[in-house]
Structures are given as structure tokens and as C-alpha cells.
């Protein structure tokens, strides 16, 4: 019998109702491929605690981060490491899938559901491609004007690409989920050097 919906999953779905585009592609890696990527990144990435100043306090997060890119650099603010093979492979997969090229990547490591990331917009006006590995976590958008919220579940191997006016009109966050015991790595590929 002909399946009328056979091609339903081929294209991405924009999860935002207006004022931006957040294209959800679902899993772009096989389960096995995602397992391998997660294991490689756990060991090959130079994970560091994120540090910033907020309300006169120096904050050191439990969540770990790392920057990689075409233009390695080292300042007090940020160290950018040169691409490593596991990361380059993922970058190329993401580029092929969404049709954009990327020059850098911010990785976030959430050791468990105790760790999250608060409301923010990314600084980029250009596309940001987010690849998730490990534990499924909620990713929540909030409209800056009318406070409307909506969320997607980001699972092992899922790709979400934010573009257009998304960062101007929407905040996003990864709320803590106390029931989650497993780690998650998120990679955001960016067009900033």
C-alpha cells in the first residue's frame, strides 16, 4: 500500500510560530553514531568550567564548556582550540544537513539534569546549529515581547538550527531536570570566527 506520509520526516520543521526560524531536523546521526560521537567528545575535548561575573560576583558553573574553531586564540576571556577530528566530522555532517557553513563551535557539557543553562539569546545574527548528544533535555523558547513559551525535546543525535530573526525576538534556556542522571553534550556551531 502506498504510504502518503512516507516523506513527512525528510525536511526540517520550524518550531517557532513567528519572528524567527528554529528548524528541527530530528536525529541526524544513527544511535550508534551518536554514541561514538558522545564518547569521543567526552575524552577529546578540553572541558573547562564556565566563568563569568554577575551582579558583582564571580560565578563558576558546574556545567563545562569549550570553544573550537578555524581561528584558535587565547585571551583572558576565551580560549579557542583548533578543530579535532571528531568535531570536524560532526561539523561537516551538520553543514551538509542544513546547508550552512560554520567557523566555530561552543560545546556545553551538562553532567546530569542538575545542570542547566539560563535564559539568554545568542549574540549571532547568523545561523546557529545545535547538535545534541546524550540525555534528552527540554529546550525552551520564550518570546521577548509577549512571553509566549514553547519547547522542544532534544534527544541523542538531534539537530536544531536557529536562524533569521530568532535571537532578536526569542530567549532560550535548558532548564534543570532533576530526574535526569545521564550527561548531555550540546554543540552549537556558529559563523563567528
Task: List CB contacts of 92: < 8 A, sequence separation 6 or more.
Answer: none
Q: Is 7 exposed, middle or buried (0-12, 13-18, 19+ CB in 10 A)?
A: exposed
Nearest-angstrom CA–CA distance, 126 and 124:
5
> Which residue's CB is nearer to Fe ion, number 89 or number 122?
122
> Which residue's CB is nearer to ligand AKG, number 1 or number 52?
52
Where along the sequence are the contacts to ligand AKG (CB under 6 A)?
106, 108, 117, 122, 130, 132, 139, 154, 172, 174, 186, 188
> Which residue's CB is nearer to ligand AKG, number 86 or number 187?
187
Nearest-angstrom CA–CA distance, 33 and 150:
29
Distance of CA 103 to the CA centre of its chain: 15
Tell me the CA distances in angstroms from 126 to 30, 151, 166, 174, 184, one per residue in order.
Answer: 28, 22, 10, 21, 25
Q: Which of 50, 122, 124, 182 binds Fe ion (CB under 5 A)?
A: 122
CB of 56 to ligand AKG, least distance (A): 24
CB of 50 to ligand AKG, least distance (A): 10
> Which residue's CB is nearer to Fe ion, number 95 or number 122?
122
Q: Which does 139 bind (CB under 5 to 8 A by kind): Fe ion, ligand AKG, none?
A: ligand AKG
| Positions that interact with Fe ion (CB under 5 A) | 122
Amino acid at each position: 500500500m502506498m504510504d502518503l506520509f512516507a516523506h513527512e520526516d525528510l525536511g526540517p520543521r520550524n518550531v517557532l510560530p513567528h519572528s524567527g526560524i528554529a528548524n528541527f531536523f530530528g536525529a541526524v546521526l544513527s544511535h550508534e553514531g551518536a554514541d561514538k560521537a558522545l564518547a569521543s567528545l567526552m575524552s577529546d575535548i578540553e572541558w573547562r568550567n564556565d566563568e563569568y561575573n554577575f551582579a558583582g560576583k564571580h560565578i563558576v558553573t558546574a556545567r563545562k564548556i569549550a570553544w573550537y574553531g578555524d581561528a584558535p586564540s587565547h585571551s583572558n576571556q576565551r580560549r579557542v582550540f583548533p578543530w579535532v577530528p571528531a568535531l570536524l566530522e560532526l561539523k561537516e555532517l551538520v553543514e551538509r544537513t542544513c546547508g550552512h557553513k560554520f567557523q566555530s563551535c561552543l560545546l556545553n557539557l551538562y553532567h546530569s539534569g542538575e545542570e542547566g543553562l539560563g535564559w539568554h539569546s545568542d549574540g549571532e545574527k547568523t545561523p546557529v546549529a545545535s547538535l545534541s548528544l546524550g540525555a534528552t533535555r527540554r529546550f525552551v523558547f520564550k518570546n521577548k515581547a509577549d512571553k509566549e513559551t514553547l519547547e522542544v525535546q532534544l534527544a541523542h543525535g538531534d539537530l536544531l538550527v536557529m536562524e533569521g530573526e530568532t535571537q532578536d525576538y526569542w530567549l532560550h534556556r535548558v532548564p534543570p531536570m532533576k530526574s535526569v542522571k545521564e550527561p548531555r553534550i550540546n554543540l552549537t556551531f556558529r559563523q563567528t570566527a
